Each structure stands twice: as structure tokens, then as C-alpha cells.
Amino acid sequence: MNLEAAMRLAIERSEAVKGRTYPNPPVGAVILDSDGDVAGVGATEPPGGPHAEVLALRRAGERAAGGTAVVTLEPCNHHGRTPPCVDALLAAQVSAVVYAVTDPNPVAAGGAARLADAGVSVTAAVLADEVSRGPLREWLHKQRTGSPHVTWKFATSVDGRSAAADGSSQWITSEAARADVHRKRRVADAIVVGTGTVFADDPTLTARLPDGTLADRQPLRVVVGEREISHEAKVLNDDSRTMVIRTRDPREVVRALSDRTDVLLEGGPTLAGAFLRAGVIDRILAYVAPILLGGPITAVDDVGVLSIAHAQRWRFDGISPIGPDVRLSLVPA
Ligand code: AOF
Ligand code: ZN
């Protein structure tokens, strides 16, 4: 297997554990033996458990000697909750290490230099862009800024409406797009809505599998706003934990979630507007359906723009067809 294919396999494995490792990064590792065949694969276990490299090495056994380790993040060089991966790689006598992204965590960094000093061939930046925009996007943001990564997700008609004139909004996008949203919920570690959405839609805000059953891992549900919600609201049921934050200030919300890494904001239009005005959205995921609704109910209210010169500028960083719909990913320009 060539190195890029091995890195793609490592990425795939890391995607599979995304959401289960925070505050640690979801990392994937593949060990190729000296013939270039896959000898072992691994991905980060929940905090306190082994790192990706250690699991992959364990599975490879003696076939790791003289082989190549392919990892999505620079192997760590520190005793944290677990011993350094660099030690495990040296003990297994791999002759080469290939990784995508340099570890920005100053405590864990330095693995590449130590491996090179020990005579291991080290190659950095293989598929780095894919990894940093994909499985490690939220964790890298948290490392850089100290704040959780906030994604605003919404579904809209092609003319920017989130409901028809009578308020009905089930369902704008297709089943395929809704399944994609549930996948996002499963990997997020918090989902935020406003009290307005709780009053209007009474959502459960759980991550569900395609057959409607609850996923085995549920994100924290967060309700934001100053109004009291009913004790009967579905968002307070036993399916998952719920945090009520009595403020309408997005910055306070982000501060209250400072121990989280991947936060999903699920609207509605007022809360989304407040977050956009406050500049605390790091990514927009728009699910756009090929329908026209017209009318007064837009996906977002006031974003603080009165004139085109002051428009908020974003940049598309991904466009994917999902069933009959399109998913647009945007980042600040
Ligand atoms: C790796 N492989 O799979 C992961 C790494 O407290 P610990 O010991 O679990 O260390 C956490 C730090 O290690 C984390 O902040 C990051 O810098 C690195 N994570 N490193 O070599 C892995 N998950
Ligand atoms: Zn490690």
C-alpha cells in the first residue's frame, strides 16, 4: 500500500472515533511492514486509554520492525495520561514515520525531532490539509484559540427560508441530509439551541441512528436564553444530559462551554443571528434543498449588516451533494 493510501486509511479510522476522544484529538495510525503491507491499524481510545500508534503497533507485533508508521498527528513525546508514542515506535524499531499534522500542543510536541535524532526517517505534511480540515479540525482550533470550535448548522430552501409562511418546517431537506446531521450530532460534544426553538419545535436534540434508535453516545444538550422552559420539554428528558444557560450573550455561552471541543449550534434564526453578530461562529454548514418557499421566515435574522459594504464575508471550503440536496461548508474569509 502506498503512503497516501495508508494515510487515507488512518484518516478513516480517526473519523470513526471522532467525538469519543475529547479533550484528546481523534488520531488514526497505520503500520506498514517492510513489504509495505498493512500490519496493524489503530485509533485513539477515550482519554486515559492508549494512543493510536500504540494500538496499531500492538496489532502489528513483530511485523512493525523495519516498517513504516503512518499517523494523522505527529507522535507525542510526553508522559501524559499515557507514555510517549515515540518510545513505543522506537521500541518497535520502525524505520520510518510519516505524519500529517504537527502537534501544536507544546507539552506533547517534539516527537518528530526525537525520532529523527534516533535515525528514523521522518516525513511530515502528508495529506495535512485533509486532516486539518477533517478529523482534527475542531481539536486544532481548540489548541490554537483555547475556545471550542463552533459550527452553525441549518437547513434551508434554495431561497434562504427555514420554514413556510405558516411556520411549518418538517422537512425541508431530504432523509439523506437529515441522516448526515445526525452523524454530526453523534460526533459533536455539545448541541446548542435557543429557548425559542424549544418553544417552537420541542426538539429532543439527540443523535439517532437511521432506524430512529438512540446512538450509543450523546452530545451534551445546551439550551440558551432568559425565558423559563417547561419541565415537560423533550430536551430535558433522560436520553442525554442537558445544560440550561440563562443568557443571550453568545460569548458567555462559548465561555460556559470552554471544556468542550466541538460545539454544534442548531439555530433558530434569532440565536444564529446573535452568534454571527458576535463573531463566534467558526464554520457554517448549510443544507440547501431544491425547493422554493418564499415568505417571511428566513434562516437567520439580523446579522448586523445594514449595507453591502459591511456584509460578512465567508469562503466556501467544501461543497458536497447529499441525496437531492447540497451541503455547503463555509469558513470566515
Ligand atoms: C499521539 N497519538 O493518538 C493522540 C495524541 O494525556 P495523554 O497522554 O492522552 O496525551 C494527550 C496529548 O497527546 C494530546 O493533547 C495531544 O497532544 C497528543 N495526542 N498523540 O501521538 C494519539 N491522541
Ligand atoms: Zn501519543
Torsion of CA 108, 111, 112, 115, to 10 degrees: 180
Q: Would you identify the CATH topology of the domain 3-140?
A: Cytidine Deaminase; domain 2 (3.40.140)
Q: How far is the CA of 111 from the centre of ligand 1 (A)?
A: 11
Does residue 300 surpass a pLDDT of 90? yes
Task: Report the atom number in ligand 1 closest to the C-alpha of 29.
Answer: 3
- Per the annotation, binding residues for NADP(+) are 155, 169, 171, 197, 201, 268-274
pLDDT value at residue 255: 97
**pLDDT score at 328:** 98
Atom 11, ligand 1: residue with shortest CA distance:
24
Q: Does ligand 1 have an atom closer than 6 angstroms to the CB of 240? A: no
Residue of 12, 45, 53, 226 marked catalytic: 53
Whole-number Å distance between alpha carbons of 270 and 163 = 14
Which residue puts its alpha carbon closest to atom 15 of ligand 1?
24
Residue range 102-118, pLDDT digits in tens: 999 999 999 999 999 99
The span from the CA of 272 to the CA of 207, in Å, is 21
Do 93 and 63 touch, CB atoms closer than 8 A? no
d(CA 203, CA 180): 17
- Specify the CATH number of the domain 148-332: 3.40.430.10
Binding site membership of 227 for ligand 1 (Cβ less than 6 Å): no
Single-letter amino acid, residue 100: A
Report the separation in Å between the CA atom of 259 and the middle of ligand 1, taken as the mean of its atom positions.
17
Look at residue 46 in the predicted model and tell me its pLDDT. 95
pLDDT at 26: 98
Residue 50 CB neighbour total at 10 angstroms = 19
Cβ neighbors of 146 (< 8 A, separation 6 or more) are: 258
Specify the residue for cell string 509495505.
Answer: 36
Which atom belonging to ligand 1 lies closest to the Cα atom of 76?
21
- How does the average pLDDT of the chain come out, rounded? 96
- C-alpha to C-alpha distance for 231 and 79, rounded to whole angstroms: 46
pLDDT of residue 185: 92
Query: Could you tell me which residues come within 8 angstroms of residue 295 by beta carbon, excluding any fewer than 6 positions away?
Result: 161, 163, 164, 165
Q: Say whether 53 is catalytic.
A: yes
Q: Which residues, including other chains, have CB under 8 Å from residue 38's CB and lie 6 or more apart?
A: 1, 6, 9, 30, 31, 32
Ligand nearest to the CA of 29: 1
User: pLDDT tens-digit profile of 6-40?
Assistant: 999 999 999 999 999 999 999 999 999 999 999 99
Domain residue extents for the chain:
3-140, 148-332
Question: Which residues contribute to the annotated binding site?
Answer: 51, 76, 85, 155, 169, 171, 185, 197, 201, 205, 208, 266, 268-274
Q: How far, in Å, is the centroid of ligand 2 from the Cα of 19? A: 18
Q: Is 191 near ligand 1, meaning CB less than 6 Å away?
A: no
Ligand 2 centre to CA of 217 (Å) is: 24
pLDDT at 236: 97
d(CA 325, CA 177): 7
Helix (H) or strand (E) holding 165: none
Model confidence over 204-242: pLDDT tens digits? 999 888 898 998 889 999 999 999 999 999 999 999 999
Q: How far is the CA of 79 from the centre of ligand 1 (A)?
A: 9
Q: Map grid coordinates 443523535 to a residue.
A: 207
Annotate 57-83 with b (16+ C-beta within 10 A) or e (fewer).
bebbeebbeebbbbbbbbbbbbeeebe
